[in-house]
Amino acid sequence: MNEYEILEHTADIGFRAWGPSPGELFRNAARAMMAIATEPEILSGLEERELETHGVDYPDLMVNWLSEVLYLFDTNQFAARDFRVDDIATDRLRATLIGEPREPERHPWELIIKAVTYHQLKVEQRNSRWQAEVFLDI
């Protein structure tokens, strides 16, 4: 089963992600974004970093979660190749990032992502699956 796919947009880029649970959906969304930002295969998974974020609802939480992961990458703090969502509710999320501290020369941006947008943002349950659509400004 696909975990995410890239979506078209005239000026920018987006993705659609799926998961059997909200936690898996948020994990796959972050993996989709990192696959656009860099080449996750070149990152080791030797270190972990804990992260907690909040939002008013699932869509807001999604933007804030992805913005946190992006901020850590852009400031060279942490380059994540995978994620484990340890606890999630509609208004908060606690997760573990798996990767390594970013060394920009070794871990360049493949495409610099400026920000995560609210544009046509969707986080919803469809039958037994959770699905999200997110657009990124590049």
Partner 1 sequence: MSVSHLIEQVDDYRWRIPRVKGSGMLTDVRVYASRDILKKVVTDRSLDQAANVACLPGIVGSSLAMPDIHQGYGFPIGGVAAVDCASGVVSPGGVGFDINCGVRLLGSSLSREEVRARLKDLVNQIFRDVPCGTGGTGYIKISQKELDDVLVDGARWMVRHGYGETNDCEYAEARGALLGADPDKVSPRAKERGRPQIGTLGSGNHFLEIQYVQRVDDEEAAKTFGLYQGQVVVLIHSGSRGLGHQVCTDFLRDMGPAMRKYGIELPDRQLACVPVTSREGQSYLAAMRGAANFAWANRQGMTHFVRQAFRRIFSNDVHLKVIYDVCHNIAKQERYEVAGKTQDVLVHRKGATRAFPPGHPEVTPSYQQVGQPVFIPGSMGTASWVLAGRSGSVDETFGTCCHGAGRLLSRTAAKKGRDLKRVIKDLEREGILIRSESKRGILEEVPQAYKDVDEVIEVVHNAGLATKVARLRPMGVIKG
Residues near partner 1 (CB under 8 A) are 6, 8-13, 56, 59-60, 63-64, 67, 71, 74-75, 104-105, 108-112, 114-119, 121, 135, 137-138
Which residue type sits at 2? N
**Which residue number, 13 or 21, has a Cβ lying nearer to partner 1?**
13
**Which residue number, 24 or 37, has a Cβ lying nearer to partner 1?**
37
- Distance, in Å, from the CA atom of 62 to the CA atom of 68, rounded to the nearest integer, reads 10
- Distance, in Å, from the CA atom of 74 to the CA atom of 69, rounded to the nearest integer, reads 9
Least Cβ distance, residue 130 to partner 1 (angstroms): 20
- Distance, in Å, from the CA atom of 42 to the CA atom of 40, rounded to the nearest integer, reads 5
**Which residue number, 89 or 111, has a Cβ lying nearer to partner 1?**
111
Within 10 A of 87 (CB to CB), how many other CB atoms are there?
10
Least Cβ distance, residue 31 to partner 1 (angstroms): 19
**Which residue number, 87 or 110, has a Cβ lying nearer to partner 1?**
110
Least Cβ distance, residue 123 to partner 1 (angstroms): 12
Q: Which two tokens stand for residue 88?
A: 């999630």
Residue 120 Ramachandran class (φ > 0 left, ψ -120 to 50 alpha, else beta): left
Least Cβ distance, residue 19 to partner 1 (angstroms): 22
